[in-house]
């Protein structure tokens, strides 16, 4: 899977988790016909997100207890755990003034010792929680409530792509036309880089210039997330308010209130789209309306509409089941293992992110350090460090002993604390892919279609074919949200690349800065993967490195193979 750019990452604000009873993770989608409650049953290395997170805290305490007396003192822990300032600089929690940067875990009681519970409470206070929900709007769409703005514009990339694939010109795409997308578009790959960019799809119309002009004119504005629930950055009160604003109606059929002239700030069963059984559990006073307090209970422990079982470390397809028969019929699994819920004009696709055990931060850092050490003396001088990509860290920060030299062990120690904290968490990343065929197939949003992305086109036909004619018209392409479950990553360290904003939007390859040197040099088209064609070694070596056997070597596979290829 290709990695998203640092630009995209910056559009996604880290968020603070909202705890729910037990270890359930919920994402509530506010659809046009009511709320869809997704219960995410997540397993990581045989543990729940909370179990995985608490294992990290246990490992941290063990590493801090240098004299192995079973007690971690403030002195032992000094400078060796993640502070609020550290977490903010590493983009693991939001920039906030509400948490003192120098706050200490040792407060209950303040006895010079830090217990397991104190560490858990401290990380909760600074916003470092087991589960995280991130929403990334589609930059080419208008506000969530503006339906007209969310329709494909006349100058979008959809026009040339759909027309290019519609080889018989009947205004629809057949399974054969989608399956033949690779063959049809291959001749457009003028630079022979195994991707089809916007410029290659439509060389006459400068789409990037059109998008820039739209942005200047205020056409492009971020969407509001239609998702609520566990891991949201919003307070529970704000989530309740958004729920009321979305569904509260003066329609007597929906609201259950005759003659109403104003919204009653409550929600009926019909407005929420719940069954009688689902609604009655929260309607404590039996008045047929959920008030603010009852909605609080609803959001805190909702009944799942759809349950999805996700083993992050497995390659097996996701398992999904709905309590509603009409939704169960709309649940489909595609060959990529994702669970897809078709809601008519909207589709939710839940996928598993790449999650190989990449070990330690050293796996990523050592190749970069060796490349920066131009005189090969085993350390970085300030001039060498300033020319290197240090993932946002300064020379002064890394030079912990202040001797004017930065050694590899100093770099590793600095990043390992942050790397472990990031990897301990489970992340739900929600991407609004858009409504056009190009936007949906361009899963990594680099404004180019790779041959891998085109291979997935035919698998989507059965998901979108509303009239059952075995063909796909433009009007049948839904607005798609892609929900990816994965381990957390440290920005720019094994999770993202530094990519120029203009290059991403124009579909132009940008310089990659992560991964072993051999991997970056072989990745000629800079799509974050090495294909069979790009690989310069033996076929047997490629197959050994391609651990998931998808005919591509991605960054995670490359870094886990240190020493395999020089």
The per-residue pLDDT for range 120-168, each reduced to its tens digit, is 999 988 888 899 998 988 766 544 333 443 444 434 444 478 888 888 8
Q: How confident is the model at residue 197 (pLDDT cuts 50, 70, 90)?
A: confident
* pLDDT tens digits along 87-108: 888 888 876 556 665 678 999 8
d(CA 556, CA 357): 9
Integer angstrom CA distances of residue 446 from 7, 359, 439, 528: 11, 28, 10, 11
Residue from 2, 33, 13, 141 nearest 479 by CA: 141
Answer for the pair 510, 526: CB distance below 8 angstroms, yes or no.
yes
d(CA 49, CA 312): 10
**pLDDT over 60 at 420, yes or no:** yes
Orientation of helix 408-423 relative to helix 49-64, angle to 10°: 150
Residue 201 burial (CB count, 10 A): 22
* pLDDT tens digits along 320-332: 999 999 899 889 8
d(CA 153, CA 434): 12
3 torsion bin: left (phi>0), alpha (psi -120 to 50), beta (else):
beta
d(CA 122, CA 59): 16
Q: Convert 365-392 to b/e letters by CB count within 10 Å (16 or more is b).
A: bbbbbeebbeeeeebbbeebbeebebbe
**pLDDT over 90 at 564, yes or no:** no
Q: What angle do CA 137, 143, 148 make, to 5 degrees?
A: 120
Q: Both tokens of residue 351?
A: 């996928």
| More confidently predicted of 288 and 436 | 288
Mean pLDDT score, 488-517? 50
Q: So what's the pLDDT on residue 319?
A: 92
Q: Both tokens of residue 404?
A: 């004017």
| More confidently predicted of 36 and 448 | 36
The H or E element spanning position 435 is none
Q: So what's the pLDDT on residue 14?
A: 35
Answer for the pair 506, 516: CB distance below 8 angstroms, yes or no.
no
HEC assignment per residue over 523-545:
CCCCCCEEECCCCCCCHHHHHHH
Answer for the pair 331, 322: CB distance below 8 angstroms, yes or no.
yes
Answer for the pair 110, 101: CB distance below 8 angstroms, yes or no.
no
Q: How confident is the model at residue 253 (pLDDT cuts 50, 70, 90)?
A: confident
3-state secondary structure of 300: helix
d(CA 269, CA 278): 9
Instruction: Note every long-range contact of 329-336, with CB atoms under 8 Å and residues 24 or more positions apart, other chains counting.
Output: 331/306, 332/462, 332/463, 334/456, 334/459, 334/460, 334/463, 335/459, 336/456, 336/459
Residue from 66, 64, 74 nearest 104 by CA: 74
Q: So what's the pLDDT on residue 531?
A: 83
d(CA 11, CA 136): 7
Q: How confident is the model at residue 217 (pLDDT cuts 50, 70, 90)?
A: very low
Answer for the pair 164, 178: CB distance below 8 angstroms, yes or no.
no
Q: So what's the pLDDT on residue 69?
A: 86
- Domains for the chain: give ranges and CATH numbers: 1-138+225-356+480-512 (no CATH), 162-222+436-477 (1.10.238), 515-566 (no CATH)
Omega of the bond leading into 109 within 30 degrees of 0 (cis): yes
**Residue 344 bridge partners (DSSP):** none
Mean pLDDT score, 314-325? 90
**pLDDT over 90 at 356, yes or no:** no
d(CA 533, CA 546): 14
Q: Both tokens of residue 291?
A: 């008030």
Integer angstrom CA distances of residue 518 from 224, 372, 530: 41, 15, 10
**pLDDT over 70 at 517, yes or no:** yes
- Per the listing, tokens 């009321």 go with 244
Answer for the pair 230, 25: CB distance below 8 angstroms, yes or no.
yes
- Per the listing, tokens 């040792």 go with 106
**Residue 28 bridge partners (DSSP):** 37, 228
**Residue 406 bridge partners (DSSP):** 380
Q: What angle do CA 476, 477, 479 make, to 5 degrees?
A: 125
d(CA 436, CA 154): 11
3-state secondary structure of 142: coil
Contacts for 78 with CB less than 8 Å, ≥ 6 apart = none
Q: So what's the pLDDT on residue 553?
A: 85
Q: What angle do CA 345, 347, 353 make, to 5 degrees?
A: 160
Instruction: Give CA 489 to chain center in angstroms.
Output: 10
Q: Convert 257-281 to b/e letters by CB count within 10 Å (16 or more is b).
A: beeeeeebebbbbbbbbbeeebbee
Instruction: List helix spans (H) across 141-180.
Output: 158-165, 175-179
Q: Quote the mean pLDDT of the chain.
A: 78
End-to-end CA distance of the chain: 23
């Amino acid at each position: 899977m290709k990695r998203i750019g640092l630009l995209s990452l910056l559009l996604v604000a880290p968020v603070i988790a909202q705890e729910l009873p037990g270890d359930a993770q919920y994402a509530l989608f506010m659809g046009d016909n009511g709320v869809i409650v997704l219960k995410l049953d997540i397993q990581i290395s045989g543990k729940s997100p909370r179990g995985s997170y608490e294992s990290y805290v246990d490992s941290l305490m063990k590493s801090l207890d240098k004299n192995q007396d079973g007690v971690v003192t403030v002195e032992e822990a000094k400078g060796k755990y993640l502070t609020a300032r550290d977490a903010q600089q590493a983009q693991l929690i939001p920039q906030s003034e509400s948490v003192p940067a120098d706050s200490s875990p040792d407060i209950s009681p303040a006895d010079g010792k830090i217990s397991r519970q104190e560490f858990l409470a401290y990380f909760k206070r600074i916003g470092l929680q087991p589960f995280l929900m991130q929403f990334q709007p589609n930059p080419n769409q208008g506000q969530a409530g503006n339906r007209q703005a969310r329709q494909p514009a006349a100058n979008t990339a959809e026009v040339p792509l759909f027309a290019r694939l519609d080889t018989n010109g009947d205004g629809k795409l057949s399974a054969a036309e989608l399956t033949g997308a690779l063959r049809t578009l291959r001749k457009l790959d003028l630079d022979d880089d195994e991707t089809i960019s916007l410029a290659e799809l439509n060389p006459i119309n400068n789409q990037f210039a059109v998008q820039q002009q739209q942005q200047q004119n205020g056409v492009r504005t971020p969407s509001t997330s239609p998702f609520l629930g566990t891991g949201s950055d919003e307070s529970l009160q704000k989530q309740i308010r958004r729920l009321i604003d979305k569904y509260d109606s003066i329609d007597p059929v929906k609201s259950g209130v005759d003659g109403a002239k104003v919204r009653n700030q409550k929600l009926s069963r019909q407005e929420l789209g719940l069954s009688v059984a689902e609604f009655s559990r929260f309607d404590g006073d039996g008045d047929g309306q959920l008030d603010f307090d009852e909605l609080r209970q609803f959001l805190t422990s909702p009944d799942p509409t759809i349950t999805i079982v996700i083993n992050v470390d497995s390659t097996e397809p996701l398992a999904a089941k709905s309590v509603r028969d009409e939704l169960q019929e709309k649940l489909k699994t595609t060959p990529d293992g994702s669970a897809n819920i078709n809601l008519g004009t909207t589709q939710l696709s839940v996928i598993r992110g790449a999650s190989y055990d990449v070990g330690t931060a050293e796996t990523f850092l050592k190749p970069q350090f060796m490349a920066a050490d131009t005189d090969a003396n085993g350390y970085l001088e300030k001039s060498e460090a300033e020319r290197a990509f240090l993932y946002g860290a300064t020379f002064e920060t890394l030079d912990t002993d202040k001797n004017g030299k930065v050694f590899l062990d100093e770099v590793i120690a600095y990043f390992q604390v942050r790397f472990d904290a990031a990897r301990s968490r489970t992340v739900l990343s929600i991407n609004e892919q858009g409504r056009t065929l190009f936007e949906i197939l361009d899963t990594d949003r680099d404004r180019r279609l790779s041959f891998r992305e085109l291979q997935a086109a035919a698998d989507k036909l059965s998901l979108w074919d509303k009239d059952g004619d075995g063909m796909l018209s433009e009007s049948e392409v839904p607005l798609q949200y892609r929900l990816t479950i994965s381990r957390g990553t440290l920005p720019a360290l094994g999770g993202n690349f530094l990519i120029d904003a203009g290059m991403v939007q124009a579909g132009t390859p940008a310089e990659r800065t992560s991964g072993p040197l051999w991997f970056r040099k072989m990745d000629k088209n800079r799509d974050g993967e090495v294909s069979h064609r790009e690989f310069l070694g033996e076929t047997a070596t490629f197959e050994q490195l391609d651990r998931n056997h998808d005919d591509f070597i991605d960054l995670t596979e490359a870094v886990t193979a240190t020493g395999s290829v020089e």
